[in-house]
Structure 1
Amino acid sequence: MNYFELYELPVSFNPDQQLVKQKFYELSKKFHPDFYINEGQEKQDEVLELSTVNNKAFQVLKDPQSRLHYILELKGQLVEGENYALPQSFLMEMMDVNEALMELEFDADAQKLAELKIQTAKIESALNNELASLTSSFDNSDAAEQENALKAIKDIYYRNKYLARINESLNKLDKN
């Protein structure tokens, strides 16, 4: 059972957080192990498992990044070990950023570092704006349109992962 089914919600990148919280508390009460203390071991194990699943579901559904990853997996878009090919234009842009990073590693320059941080923040902001638009349209689309949106969302997911690694490098340079 997937987390959306558990919470009786449609698959959505933007679920109503009040409903998520409400379902979490409702299921927490229903599957609280203390209420099953007089049951057999099998029933106690089952309730403990359901309680654990409820906690995991809540953690995933309340966090936008975890939810994004979960939905992409749920919809078969993320495959373990997949070697996803990022668009060439993005890679060229990142090559420039990586070259600037390498230069900063050998020749620290606070102003260039600040400029590079601004540049990557702009790229990240543009991606996140596009992601917000796509996830919103996904929630209001039919199955065929959702499939197209998922492919674009997956692409942004991988671009953001790449940018996260660059931001880690920027932060390391900033601390030096």
Structure 2
Amino acid sequence: MNYFEFYDIPEAFLLDEKALKNKYYQLSREFHPDFYANESEQKQQEILQLSTQNTNAYRTLIDTDLRMQYILKEYGLLEEGKNELPSDFLMEMMELNEELMELEFNFDADKLHEIGEKSNGITAQLDNDILPTLQRYPDLHGVTKEEALQEIKTYYLKKKYLLRIKETLSKFAARS
């Protein structure tokens, strides 16, 4: 059973996190192993599995990135080695990576700040561009679910790429 079905909520990229938390706590109480101590070994195992599934579902669905990754994987859209990014984005990232390599040899705090601002700006633009699709999903008008999922997949992969750049920036910042 997938996590959305487990929580009896519609599949969505944007969730009511308070309602999700309430459902998690409700199921945590319902499936707490201590309440089943006098049950059969089989029933105790079943409850333990449900309790574990509840925890895993909550950890996945409460985190925006993990939720996105989960939905994309459910549709078979995130496959190892088959996740391509648009060439224009890769060219833009190549420029940022070259600037980062220059910092390796000739550190400049102002340049580090500038690269950080660029990557933050790109991330903000990506977030802004995808928001309407995330808000409408799964009730899409004018695009198919498959098209929306492909758009979200591209966004997810770009965001992951930018996260690696930000991690590199953090390492530079820590050294300075």
The TM-score range, normalised by the shorter chain, is: over 0.9
Q: Alpha-carbon deviations, 1:6-40, whole Å to 9, x = none?
A: 11111011122222122112211111111110111
3-state SS of paired residue (1:139) = coil
Q: What does residue 130 of structure 1 align with?
A: 129
Give percent identity, aligned residues only.
44
Where does 1:16-95 land on structure 2 (aligned, <5 Å)?
A: 16-79=16-79, 81-95=80-94
Which digits, 9 at most, give the CA deviation of each residue in 1:59-108, with x for residues without a partner?
111111111111111122112x2332211100111111111111010000
Partner of 1:172: 171
Count of residues in correspondence between the two structures: 175
1:111 and 2:110 are equivalent in the alignment: yes
Alpha-carbon RMSD across the aligned residues, in angstroms, is: 1.5
Flag structure 2 segments of 5+ consecutive residues without an equivalent.
none
TM-score (norm 2): 0.94
How many Å separate the matches in 2 of 1:157 and 1:88? 16
Unaligned stretches of 5+ in structure 1?
none
1:147 maps to: 146
Q: 1:43: how far off? A: 0.8
Whole-angstrom CA distance in 1 between matches of 2:43 and 2:96: 56
TM-score by length of 1: 0.94
CA distance in 2, matches of 1:169, 1:123: 16
Runs of 4+ in 1 over 4 A off after TM superposition: none
